[in-house]
Each structure stands twice: as structure tokens, then as C-alpha cells.
Structure 1
Amino acid sequence: MTDPLAATTPATLAERVKADGVEFLLATFVDMNGKPCAKLVPVQALDELEAGALGFAGFAAGAIGQVPSDPDLIAMPDPSSYTNLDFIRPGLALVHCDPYVDGEPWPYAPRVILKNLLAELDSEGITAMVGAEVEYFLLKKDADGTLVTADARDTSGRPCYDARGVTRMFGHLASISKAMNSLGWDNYANDHEDGAGQFEQNFKYSDALQTADRVVTLRYIISMLAEEADMTATFMPKPFTDRTGNGMHMHISLWKGDQALFPAEDDARGLGLSPLAYSFVSGVLEHAAGLSAFLAPTVNSYKRRGAVTTESGATWSPTTAGYGGNDRSHFIRVPDGNRIELRGGDGSANPYLAIATTLAAGFSGVRADADPGDPGKKGVPQPGAAALPPTLLHAVDALRADPVLIDALGLDGRVAEYYAGVKQDEFFRWHNTVTSWEVDNYLTAV
């Protein structure tokens, strides 16, 4: 997909900065947990940034495959990702960077991992288009530090699409919408989601890398503009026991030039999908357990997935790896023949890794000419659909047993093992923490 601003925006980073009157650039990348890392670069140092003079201590940045003795990560900017942020601070812009080490792209960097995967697809003439739904809560803290809904009147057990809740948050939602449209992202909807204090703001699908960049940028924009209004925006999968959690659903389609590869006029199953699309679905379903380590990558993710009920009466989080038609209870929903919706991701997912591993899984099915079997019926799981991992540790074990996903991350399995180790350590740090639940249940139990 072409950049909607390409016709009017200068092509080089220097020209874009000059045209927008930018004074500072956030040179940004994310670690494997999705944490945005950046340095604030004055435009006077743009030449140094583009020449590879901007170094980061990788171990300090986060989970990105380095130890303290390793050489610097060098942030190399991608001019196509330039984003003017003057609505946050006048004179501020952002550019996504690919970390390099010793002159080579760093194989543990999530953006590099996705670009490597997309290069393989490009060699076959295939483009992956992706849309992402970003859900979040707007919260404040009481005097005692308790998290509460930022809108004190937002107390309904079933507030989804409530016109009054949207109107009370009009200032925030409108500011995000205007920001997206000023950037050419085509915001088309802003709504109150299923939990009190929860919202979703949508932008048009694009190519896989651009969508991943935009998810990272949008999270930053939402967070910063929420802080301006003395609120906290959280993408945490399950911040409240009794409310629906934050998902990050992805809509995926494949193209060859101008030809869409998913739709088919004749589909005996009635979903409008081509044999290639069914094979892609089969690959995603086969690797769903290992994919969970990327789609639902935190301990908290499984509080959302395993929720029995919520105030609204639904969790919107699938527990089995099945597919079906226009039915939101499935891991993969097929709203029409043009795309599939992967509903297993949550708000903590790193978009680069989630997209890369999903595409790798899907293409393993395409290359094997696999078939997913008949879809599940409305409200009924697909027959034989496997249960998804109940905890992060189960997902890590599944990743370690999945050669397709291991290979997709590269470096002869070392990236996958590093990531699995990071997530295993995260699980055991949580597991070794004594919680109030344990005190309440065990303190005088015997």
C-alpha cells in the first residue's frame, strides 16, 4: 500500500523535518517486550543519526538479546516511518529505527525480525496487509493509590457503545482521532468498549510493517495525550478481575500485486475463502499454542484468557484454537472472504513479533497445502479444536517445541530461546511473589 502522504510529503527525512519545522526527533525502537526506547535528537544532529552515530546500551534498553559487555545498538532511522508529533509537543517528530550492531541489523530487534520475514514473502511476490484493533482503559488513581475509572460516571456493567460515555470522553477521543487523521492513518471509528473506562480507536489497514509501526506510535500518542489530561492509559490485558480485558485483534489478508489471494467466489464451506486462505488458517491454528507466547506474552494475559465471566457477561477471549464465520467466539473469525481476524492477541502483544510469527505460522500451512477442517458453528467451537495454553509458562513450552516459530525468529534458534527464557523468568518472578490472595486463603487455613 502506498503512503497516503507520499504525493505531498518530501521523501527524505531531512526534507520532512524542514517542511514541518521540527526541532527534535524521537529516534525510537522497541525491545522484545514492546517497550518503546528512544533518544531525543535535535535536528542539528540529524546527519549524525542517519550516519549511524546514535548508540544505545542494549542491555539497559531492555530485553533485546544483549549483555552489559556487548557493543552499542546503533539506531538507524527508517525515513518512511517519519511521524510528525506537533500535536503532542510543537517541534517534535518520531522516526522508527532498526537497531544495528557492528554494521549489521541486530537479529533480536523485533522490527528487524518482522522485516526479515517480510523479505521472504516479498521474494515470492506476496504482500501481507494487516489491520490492528487497539483497546485500552483510561484510569486515574484514588488518594490511596487504587486504580479507578477516569470517568467517575462510567460505572455500568454493560457500557459498550454507550453514547454518553463516548461524549464524556469526547475531548480525549477527538484529540486521538484528529492526530491519526493528520498523519493520514484514516481513523474511521472511536467507541466505548465492553468494560467501564475502556475504549477502542481504529485506523485503516496497511502493509504489515507500517501497521506494526503505527500500533507502537498510537500507544505512545494515546498514553501521552492521556497524561496531558491527568489520566493513565493502559493496554494491560486484564487490569480488573470483573471487567473485560484489552485485546489486540489483527485482520490479515495476502496479496500478489493487485490480486487479493484470500477471497473466492466458489467456497463449499460458505465463508468465501480460497484454498490458499484455508491453508493459511490451518497453519495459524496448528501453531496457535506457540503463537500464544507472542499474542498473549505476559502473565496477566492469561487472567484475560482464563476469565470465567465479567460484568458484561462475555470475555471476548477465545480459549480454543478453532475458526468459524462471523462469530467473535472463535480464535479466528472470518467476517468476509477478504480477510481473517485473529482474535487471540491482547494489548500487551509486541506488534512486530505478533505479526511476524503469525505470518510464519500461516505460511507453513500454505506451503504444506494444509486444510483446517470444517469451521465451527455459530457459538460452538470447531470440532477437535485444541485448547490454548492456560498460562504463560505453557505457552513458552509450546514455543520451545515449535520448529516453525523457532526458525521464523532466526539465528539458528538462539533468538527464540532467548525470548523463551525472558518469558519463563517473567512467569517465575510472578509465581514467586506472595500475593494478597494467598494471604487471604492460607494465612490461617491450617
Structure 2
Amino acid sequence: MTSVATPAVTPSAGLASQANDALSQPAISLADIARAHDVRFLLATFVDMTGKPCAKLVPVEAADELESGAMGFAGYAAGLIGQKPQDADLIAVPDLSSFTPVPFVKEGLALIHCDPHVNGRPWPYAPRVILKNALARLDRKGMQAKVGAEVEYFLVKKNDDGTLSTADDKDDSPRPCYDARGVTRMYEHLTSISDAMNSLGWGNYANDHEDAAGQFEQNFNYADALTTADRVVSLRYILNILAEQRGMTATFMPKPFTDRTGTGLHFHLSLWSGADALFPAGDGKADDGGRGLGLSRLAYSFIGGILEHAPALQAFLAPTVNSYKRTGATTSSSGATWSPRKASFGGNDRTHMIRVPDNKRIELRSGDGSANPYLAIATAIAAGLDGVEKSIDPGLPSGPGESKPDAHFLPATLLHAVEALRKDPVILASLSGDPEIGAYYATAKEEEFLSWHNQVSDWEIRTYLTSI
């Protein structure tokens, strides 16, 4: 729950740009970039709608084939990405600016994010394509989005009986947040992740023990929206692999333990026009109306849009059955859940769905660790932009720990979130501008809920076996 640093004006350049500068060439191939970083193999990566990373391991000798669009995937086999077995291949088209060497994972290895194409066109169901389409819509209005992300996770081990426990046996306090001893015991893991992020130029600035036993968070600087989404996917991969190398499992499951705080994925959002930050009031942009947060009228309308569409947004911000064990929790061993139950906004107050820590950004706090960052950011931007276009007034901010009586309740289950999505034409059409893609996603999530619902649980056996 570290507070992400206020955005600066200029994001750092990508590694591909750095390589171009270093080699003094106007254009550079993927193979050249790879060899400049002593990379022998490339993970050509994209994610499906669930956020699962899909990849092929490509030797640098075949980098030109990858770059020219010769690397095909059977989309239906890859996962939830809008394809059937009979459909044409997804072609992974690499984005050279996303080149990410990961020698700390394997010597000579790099990851590169790709945009799936079908028949020569970007595939509209692909999450990275969806976010790029959302950003293009924003750009047509003369605006850009910058985003910071707070990546939380648990370090666990699976016991012989199938149960989970914390990887650190001594990490058993009911209130371990910021505990210096817990951080020190995980020193090798945390510092290896920090070193990895800093070697990539991400600007890691904090690593802390989170609210639950076994839970950690490692923060990096904000960037443009697409870069941040790529980095969340890359960091999850890095965390998983480096934890496995130490005999642990890094999990982003929202609620792996019933009695502990869940895992969030909080986004810090701001809109810009070139070097001009659009959220702070001033220069004729003020319309505070006694709200006291120092935001522009555009910022308040953006907030209003997110709050208006909050129930449908949760299908993307909290996209699993397990997500609603987190948002529905009433308490935890630490005494707080840190997960909002209503669509409210306020100042520097972590009980709200939208926290306003300063006048340059808002923090969206209802997302959890299972969220696909591309879809979460894309749909949040669509909701906020709808608020801007319609000049939606969010009203006065709620006080500490309070919410307005008419504020939307967030969905109680994944099925409720799916129902809200189906009733919200703005969010349903926010995936590449096509409501059919939203409907496809909604159906898949309904099936996920029903698959879980059809399983008989231990709770049912304990509650109903001899109740009558």
C-alpha cells in the first residue's frame, strides 16, 4: 500500500530507444537490439484475456522472422482470446520498444511484448490491442494517460495435504505490515527483484511487507499507460520465476487465505496533454465547488465516469470468483480489509474506491491481483472518458471511512459483475469499440462462475450434511 510517486512530465525511454541511441542508427532491427544486450533467446509474449502469459522461445537467429510476422500461434489453444479451433493463426508482431532483457531469470534471455494480428490486422480481442485502441481514442481528443501500478503478491508454499502456508514459517503475525524483520528474512528475494527492476530502468523505489502474513509489494515509477501494463505483466513473470528458483510460489490470487487481507492491484491514473497535466486545478480549469481536493473539472468528470460505471468495471478489475472473497470480506486478522465495498471517492483515504492523494492523480483501489492490466486500464479509461464527455458530476467527496447513501454497491460476486457489465453499454463496447467482444468476455466469465458454483465444497459438507 505504498503511495506511488507523483508523475513527472517525461517518462523514461524504452530499451529499444536506448539501443538505437547507443548504436547511432536511425533504425535498428530486433536482432540488432538482442545482440547489443547479449541476448540469445527471445520470449515472444502476449497475454490472453485472463492475463495468462503466452510465449514462444525464439532464438536470436530467427528474430528477423519474428519481426516480419512469421511467428504463428493457435489462438484457441492459447486461451481466452476470441478464437475457435478453425480460425486462422494469431501472428505475434513484436513491439521493439518493449524489449526487456531478463538475464537474472536466464542468462541470454529477453522478453518482448507482441500484438497479436490475424490476416494482417491487429486482433481486437487481444488485451494489448484493446488498450492501444483505448489510448488511440484518448489521443484523438488530445490527451494521454499515465499510470502507476502497485503490485501486491503472496509468497507461499503448498503443503503435502494440499493446503497453503506462508513461505516464511516465521511470518505469522496477525499484523505484520511494514515489519522490518519479515522484510529482512526475505532480503535475498526482495533485493533480487529490486535489482532486476532497476537494471531495466523501471525505478524501483520501495519494497515492503504488506498487511497480511506472507504478503509483499514492490513499487516502480509510473510511465505511459501501455508501458506500465507491459511492466506489470513482465514483473509477474519475473516474480513467479525467481520465487520458484527459491522454492516458493509467488501468487497474485486475490484471496488465498480466508482470514488475511487480500491482494490488490491499485492503479494511479492521470491525464495529460503533452507536458500539461490535466488533473490539477488552475489556469481556468478549476471548478472545485467546495470539494477541496484541488482538481480540475475534467478530473472530477473523469472520477464521475468511473463511479458511474463502477459495477461493470469490476468485471475487469476483479475478474475471478476468488476476487469477491476479497471485496466481500468484512474483516481480517489485521483488523482491516483495505478493499472498498462501494463506489465512493475521497481525499487521502484508503477506504474509498477512488482515493485522491494529491491533485495530480487518482488512485483506483478496487482492482485485485488477478486483474489483466491491459483490460483494467482500458476499461477504466473508457469509463472516465465517458464521464468527461458527459460532464458527469461525482458530487462532494465522501468523508473518512464514509460513503454517500446513493453510491453504487460494488458487485457481491463475479456473476453480479457480469450482469452489471451486460447492462452497461459503455463498458460493454469499451473493448476495441465492439460490444460483441464485451459480450464474449461476459459469457466466458459467467461460465467461470458457474463452473465454480457446480463444485461441492467442504463448507457445504460441513453445513448441510447433517443439518436436517
TM bucket normalised to smaller: over 0.9
- Displacement of 1:77 in angstroms is 0.3
Pick aligned residue for 2:349 from 327, 341, 361: 327
**Identical amino acids, percent of aligned pairs:** 67
Do structure 1's residue 32 and structure 2's residue 54 form an aligned pair?
A: no
Is 1:423 the counterpart of 2:445? The answer is yes
Give the aligned residue type for 1:354. Answer: A
2:134 is the counterpart of 1:112? no
Aligned to 2:19: 9
TM-score normalised by L of structure 2: 0.94
2:112 corresponds to 1:95 = yes
Tell me if the contact between 2:29 and 2:64 (Cα under 8 Å) persists in the aligned partners. Answer: no
What corresponds to 1:297 in structure 2?
319
1:148-163 to structure 2, matched below 5 A, reads 148-163=165-180
Instruction: Give 1:445 shift.
Output: 1.2
* Alignment correspondent of 1:65: 82
Cα offset for 1:384?
Answer: 2.0
The alignment partner of 1:327 has SS state of coil
Aligned to 1:400: 422
Cα pair 2:73 2:90 within 8 Å, conserved: yes
Could you tell me which of 280, 293, 300 is aligned with 2:302? Answer: 280
Counterpart residue identity of residue 152, structure 2:
E
CA contact (8 A) 1:376 1:383 kept: no
Residue identity matched to 2:78: A
1:218 pairs, out of 227, 232, 235, with: 235
2:158 aligned to which of 132, 137, 141: 141
Alignment partner, residue 281 of structure 2: 264
Aligned to 1:350: 372
Amino acid at match of 2:453: H
Displacement of 1:13 after TM fit?
Answer: 2.1
1:393 Cα deviation (Å)?
A: 0.4
CA shift, 1:444, in A, is 1.1
Distance 1:213 1:202 in 2: 15
Q: Deviations over 1:111-167 (max 9, x none)?
A: 000001111111222110000100000011223232110000000000000000000
User: Is residue 311 from structure 1 mapped to residue 333 from structure 2 by the alignment?
Assistant: yes
CA contact (8 A) 2:194 2:204 kept: yes
- Structure 1, unmatched stretches of 5+, are none
Distance 1:359 1:76, change over 3 A: same
- 1:406 Cα shift? 1.7
Matched to 2:309, the amino acid is: H
Alignment of 1:144-293 (within 5 A): 144-265=161-282, 267=288, 268-293=290-315
Counterpart secondary structure, 2:429: helix
1:242-278 CA-to-partner distances (Å, cap 9, x unmatched) read: 0000000000000001100001155331111110000
Aligned equivalents of 1:422, 1:347: Cα separation in 2: 19
The 8 Å contact of residues 98 and 111 in structure 1, kept in 2 or not, is answered as yes
Q: Distance in 2 between matches of 1:439 and 1:163?
A: 41
- Alpha-carbon contact 1:238-1:244 (below 8 Å) kept: yes
Alpha-carbon distance, 1:385 to partner: 1.1
Question: Does structure 2 retain, via aligned residues, the 8 Å contact 1:374–1:382?
Answer: no
Unaligned runs of 5+ in 2: 1-10, 21-27
- 1:7 Cα offset (Å): 6.3
Deviates more, 1:12-21 or 1:40-49: 12-21
| Aligned residue number for residue 8 of structure 2 | none
1:90, 1:133 → 2: CA distance? 28
Whether 2:355 is the aligned partner of 1:338: answer no
Contact kept? 2:259, 2:333, Cα under 8 Å? yes
**Count of matched residue pairs:** 446
2:391 maps to 1:365: no
* Among 109, 131, 146, the residue aligned to 1:129: 146
